[in-house]
Amino acid sequence: MTSVSCSPHAHEYASASRDGAIAPRARLVVSPLLVARALALALVAVAPLQAQRADSTSRDSTRVLRTIEVRGSATGLGQVRAGNAISKLDVQLAPSGTSPLKAIERLPGVNMQGADPFGLYEWATRITMRGFQSSQVGQTFDGITLGDMSYGNFNGLNVGRAVDSDNLSDATVTQGGSALGTASSNNLGGVVQYTSADPSNTRGLSLRQMVGASSARRSALKFETGLLSSGSTAFKSYLSFSRYDTDKWKGSGERFSPARSGLFAQNGLVGGAGEQWMDQVNWKAQLLRGAHKFTAYYNFADKKESDYTDLTLARFNQSGRDWDQFASWDAAKVAATSSNPDQAYFHSAQGARRDHLAYLSADFQLNDRALVSVKPYLHTNVGAGDWHAPNYGSTAFSPDPIYFRQTIYDTRRMGVLARGRFQFAGNDLEVGGWLEQNEANITRKAWRMKNYASSPVVDFSNVLAQFFDRTGDISTRTLYVQNTNTFAGERLKVSYGVKYLSIGADFTNNGKTDAAAKLFGDPTRPNVSIPTDGGLLPQVGLVYSADRDWQFFGNFSQNVNAYPYSPQSGVYNTNATAFDFFKDNTKPEKATTIEGGCACARSALRRRWGCTPSTTTTASSAWRSVR
């Protein structure tokens, strides 16, 4: 597949899919230079090649394997809780490279806020579902937890850094009680489950190129091996690379800290690096042997984003939406000594993240009624957040009104997901668990300028202060069991089960680890342990099929939201003298959810009222108590 698209910020773009469907085309006047670059890249695209060793069967061919598992309906039919979904087509209709978070905002009850048209600027990204914040909504990718989705995420990563949006298959949003097997410790208000696309059965090479306003451009190359088979064994995989660049749609951004070497990084792929950029590599392979399936996945993401200034309502009313960081060092100095030093800062504020995410998955079909799945995974993250910060009139460590501050992140986590499903004597029994060990280290430092009066250039040999250096060792354990029975000629399905959640959290004050720092700002903070004991969390649900089109469902569930465990902003950041009081007088948030509703197939609405919705329609109401 070859497509060239022009995107004015987040408007629709034109592309040709494999089945020939054409997405809406935006009208945009772009510079001749950008068009020339796009056409040059498009000319080297290679049309999909016919698989040499695979039959010319469809993508969903089961010539080699029989189906080993049926996924539940993403649109609600047959489920004991309300669910909505976006498909791969929904993702493809968005401009190339758009964050999956922008795609799910179209679903009922989901609100996504951001400062950029692609939804990639993580500092401003906020998701709410029925009033619950991002930190209270569980999010997973291929079953692996994405953590609390905070900006300085200590236990996961943003979904845009976990998978290239071109390789996203679908996303399911459950706004009531989530399934017992969900690998999340913060799914108080529901869960969003993202799934990567499987490799195609057809060999091919594709190139996608996007150009747009604010020097936006994205190049994406993907190679599919196609299905390679021999007897009862088959293999297929894909490898993709994408590079995204854009300048800010308002203001500007400039990096002052040293950059790590990378693929294209600061050099850029086409026309130099933008003020926002990201390199991403995805590889996924599947080995199919008889009824068993083995999957390997690897993701590399390297990203830098320049900040937009945060606007208060008063500032917005006074200066308008285009108010942003100062490109002038003199203007930044004036603001830093004013009565409102937070009105804006020098335009060096930026965030950088580099992630490696990998997993292996084995699905063993023991027989027609027994399935066992195991998925170990590994995730590492390093990153930094920079800005020229005002000292707010204090000269305790910074003799100048502005100093350069950097927060440094280093996270390593590994875990395993396991489940078994067994059908016997009218029972559909599922047991499973999730184990994760996470080590998150965060430190923060300050440097002085080389010549504050004339230049913002930083003297990285002059360390004014090390504010803190903290490590959180967080171990998560969940176990669950669930059974399903059917009655009334299989028209009534009842599911019931229980989950156990336990989290150990040990925090260490590493002390002054930079000998060059003139000041250490966290000398008295003790090492502490603050566990979360979620106990046993029950769940009961039922779904009744009145006929082939109409179903009624109900669900009761309990969930616990772990304490905020970020070493820099969570419970360990409270007053050091209050830890004992905190542990003796607080409990983690716990939600009890009762949900009921109905779901109907679109064919029923077409017959009754002549309308044809694009998906199954689900109506639900939920009562939730949080304490």
Distance of CA 255 to the CA centre of its chain: 25
Same domain? 281 vs 133:
no
* Cα distance between residue 452 and residue 346, in whole Å: 13
Q: Last residue of some domain: 150, 177, 196?
A: 196
Residue 604 DSSP one-character state: H
Contact 430, 418 (CB under 8 A): no
In a domain, 251, yes or no: yes
Tally of domains in the chain: 2
Same domain? 561 vs 599:
yes
Same domain? 170 vs 308:
no
Same domain? 169 vs 302:
no
In a domain, 54, yes or no: no
* Cα distance between residue 372 and residue 431, in whole Å: 10
What pLDDT, on a 0 to 100 scale, did the predictor assign at position 499? 96
From the list 560, 623, 625, 558, the residue with the least C-alpha distance to 595 is 623
In a domain, 289, yes or no: yes
What pLDDT, in 10s, does the model give residues 308-322?
998 889 889 999 999
In one-letter notation, the amino acid at residue 181 is G
What pLDDT, on a 0 to 100 scale, did the predictor assign at position 85? 79
207: which strand partners? 2, 221
Contact 195, 170 (CB under 8 A): yes
* Cα distance between residue 359 and residue 183, in whole Å: 14
From the list 148, 151, 95, 153, the residue with the least C-alpha distance to 123 is 151
Global confidence as pTM: 0.84
Contact 35, 52 (CB under 8 A): no
Residue 389 belongs to what domain range? 11-16+19-25+32-38+200-626
Burial call 508-531: b when 16+ CB within 10 Å, e when fewer: bbeebeeeebeeeebeebeebebe
* Cα distance between residue 618 and residue 616, in whole Å: 6
Q: Last residue of some domain: 196, 231, 259?
A: 196
DSSP 54-113: S-S--TT--SS------PPPTTSTT-SS-EEEE-HHHHHTSPTT--HHHHHTTSTTEEEE
Contact 223, 239 (CB under 8 A): yes
Enumerate residue ranges in the chain where pLDDT < 70.
1-83, 176-177, 270, 602-627
Locus of tokens 């500092």: 123
The residues near 133 (Cβ < 8 Å, ≥ 6 apart) are 126, 127, 189
DSSP 415-474: EEEEEEEEEETTEEEEEEEEEEEEEEEEEEEEEEESSTTT---EEEEEEEEEEEEEEEEE
Same domain? 103 vs 235:
no
* Cα distance between residue 549 and residue 467, in whole Å: 61
Contact 279, 319 (CB under 8 A): no
What pLDDT, on a 0 to 100 scale, did the predictor assign at position 456? 97
CATH of the domain at 328: 2.40.170.20
Same domain? 215 vs 192:
no
Same domain? 185 vs 255:
no
The residues near 410 (Cβ < 8 Å, ≥ 6 apart) are 381, 382, 440, 441, 442
CB-facing half-sphere around the CA of 583: CA atoms within 13 A: 12
What pLDDT, on a 0 to 100 scale, did the predictor assign at position 177? 67
CATH of the domain at 102: 2.170.130.10
* Cα distance between residue 110 and residue 263, in whole Å: 35
Same domain? 610 vs 466:
yes
Q: Distances from the Cα of 332 to the Cαs of 336, 340, 452, 482, in angstroms?
A: 6, 12, 11, 59
Same domain? 437 vs 424:
yes
Same domain? 394 vs 432:
yes
Q: Last residue of some domain: 145, 165, 196?
A: 196
Q: Angle at CA 198, nearest 5°, toward 193 and 199?
A: 155
Q: Angle at CA 196, nearest 5°, toward 43 and 49?
A: 35
What pLDDT, on a 0 to 100 scale, did the predictor assign at position 576? 75
Same domain? 292 vs 413:
yes
What pLDDT, on a 0 to 100 scale, did the predictor assign at position 294? 98
* Cα distance between residue 249 and residue 11, in whole Å: 14
In a domain, 574, yes or no: yes
In a domain, 349, yes or no: yes
In a domain, 221, yes or no: yes
In a domain, 320, yes or no: yes
Same domain? 165 vs 299:
no
In a domain, 52, yes or no: no
